[in-house]
Copies of this chain bind each other. A is one copy, B any other.
């Protein structure tokens, strides 16, 4: 079983890395770029015998404890077989 966790800064939090990426892209001549926001995507291989609900609950707990700084970041969890 596989879980894909996407972690990104909450709206309103200044994304310095995103600003740097957007600035660099504009300097490279990509004038169509308005803004960019950079986040993490973590792919986790889990035991196959977990049921999806249990897996999702465990992965959310992983996010709360380790994978996301929930003060400034939000996360999304997708579970797939």
> Contacts of A66 on B, CB cut-off 8 Å?
21, 24-25, 28
| Contact of A46 with B25 in the complex, beta carbons under 8 Å | no
Chain A positions 27 through 43: 1 when the CB is less than 8 Å from some CB of chain B, otherwise 0: 01010111111111111
Residues facing B in A1-44 (CB within 8 A) are: 6, 8, 18, 21-22, 24-25, 28, 30, 32-44
Contact partner of A40 (CB less than 8 A), chosen from B35, B41, B47, is B41
| Contact of B32 with A58 in the complex, beta carbons under 8 Å | yes
Q: How far is the CB of A78 from chain B (nearest CB, A)?
A: 12
Given contacts A21-B67, A62-B25, A66-B24, are A42 and B32 in contact (CB under 8 A)? no
